[in-house]
Structure 1
Amino acid sequence: MSQEEISAEQVELEELETPEVDELEALRAERDELRDKFMRALADAENSRKRAERDRREAEMYGGSRLARDLLPVYDNLKRALQAVPEENREASAALIEGVELTLRELTNVMTKHGVTPISPAVGDTFDPQLHQAMFEAPLPGTKAGQIIQVATEGFLLHDRLLRPAQVGVSSNTAE
């Protein structure tokens, strides 16, 4: 074979290989593109699954917050009813008082069972704006500024979320 024949044969082979090589490169590019789309779709599906699971857990834990918030005045009224009975009438109203106490206890048990816990600050505790709502400020001798001087109503948490802040009076004494 002469040099010209070999050269012509190589040109023919290159011409035959070029479309196949181009087609092979196009298929590889398409494969890579489809793999990328597949991985993105898989990641989106996993993110959607995680988001749905988180939403389900939150709905399970906090879905009853409206009902719980609506029951808090019932709790408050039962406590007020017990506090309103004068000492001299306690014996005469023993059965009624016992019934109100049992109802209050049952309500408290049900609320606790569903994750509602009371926030019961005491006089002298430090005011915490995350858990307490200041209803008034007043200077009270013998207290420091920011101390709770009166508790108007208890607050409540639903698991770790504030359902209702405790309503308190706070000392406004200035540091001496």
Structure 2
Amino acid sequence: MSRKSTKPSDQRHQEPPENTHKNIPEDPNTLEQAADELVDESTSEKVNGDENNESSIGVYGDDCMDAGDRATQDAKADDSREGLMEKLVVAHSQIDELKDGYIRAKAEMENIRRRSQNEMISARKYAIEGFAQELLSVVDSLDQATRVEMDKPNGEAAINMKENMKQGLELTLKQFDKVMEKFGVIAVEAEPGVKFNPEVHQAISVVASDEVEPEHIVNVMQKGFSLKDRLLRPAMVVIAKSSEKE
């Protein structure tokens, strides 16, 4: 007798579907409260989403504005940089001109200094050139006087020769005085009867005199001369003192 084997059935055990509404309360009041909470949550999520969108828009807007400002500032900086470069070029050009002018002025001043120095040396070396030329005429007169032959004349001829010699010497001396005065060399006033002046006179002796007042010149031993306002040599004089005994 054959036995029929019974195989277990391939039917799968299916669990009942999970009740998705297991958290829904059965109380109507509680159900209404849960609905309100769901509405509030959805509203808050919407508000938060809007705020996030606005904040994102604000951030991107600020970024856009900052980019525009930066572009404007960069443009201004470029313009300013170009202006500064132009000014720098102009300044360098002016500096070069000033340097060139300074070098030229320095060279000109050096030339002037050298010319002045040479002129001063020449002036010192030939300062008496004009004076010497004027004295040549005096030298010629004295030279002619020395050529006069003296044959030991007697009588009236000797007298005439002496007079001629004296007149010739006086004329030569006047000629010499004119040359001296022309160049500012003037004889100091020193004659008998002139009051003694220690600034231009030098007393070599003192004598008693009834004809000349005391502290006045009695005789001139040597003439004095001054060059313009400077004393070259004082006059050597003899002055008088009072004849009365003290």
| TM-score class, shorter | 0.5 to 0.7
In structure 1, the partner of 2:237 is 168
The alignment covers a number of residue pairs equal to 149
Q: Is the 8 A contact 1:62 1:158 kept in 2?
A: no
Q: CA deviation at 1:23?
A: 4.0
1:64-75 matches, cutoff 5 A: 64=132
Shift of 1:149: 2.3
Secondary structure of 1:152 counterpart: strand
Q: Do structure 1's residue 118 and structure 2's residue 187 form an aligned pair?
A: yes
1:156 is aligned, of 225, 230, 242, to 225
For 2:130 and 2:228, the matched residues in 1 are separated by: 8
Change (3 A) 1:24 1:107: same
Q: Give unmatched runs, 5+ long, in structure 2.
A: 1-66, 143-154
SS in 1 for 2:165: helix
Q: Percent identity?
A: 18
Asked whether the 8 Å contact 2:214–2:239 carries over to 1, the reply is no
Counterpart residue identity of residue 73, structure 2: S
Equivalent of residue 59 in structure 1, options 99, 114, 127: 127
How far has the Cα of 1:95 moved from its partner?
A: 1.1
Q: Which residue of 2 aligns with 1:109?
A: 175
**RMSD of aligned Cα (Å):** 4.6
**Secondary structure of 1:149 counterpart:** strand
Cα distance in 1, alignment partners of residues 94 and 173 from structure 2: 68
What is the match of residue 3 of structure 1? 69
Per the TM alignment, residue 156 of structure 1 is displaced from its structure 2 partner at its CA by 3.2
Residue 237 of structure 2 aligns to a residue whose secondary structure is strand
CA positional deviation for 1:56: 4.8
Residue 98 of structure 1 deviates from its aligned partner by: 2.1
Bigger relative contact order (CA 8 A; separation at least 6): 1
Cα distance between partner residues in 1 of 2:209 and 2:156 = 33
Question: For the pair shown, which has the larger CA radius of gyration, 1 or 2?
Answer: 2
1:5-154 to 2 correspondences below 5 Å: 5-28=71-94, 31=97, 38=105, 45=112, 52=119, 56=123, 59=127, 64=132, 92-114=158-180, 115=182, 116-138=185-207, 140=209, 143-145=213-215, 147-154=216-223
How far apart, in 1, do the equivalents of 2:71 and 2:165 lie? 114
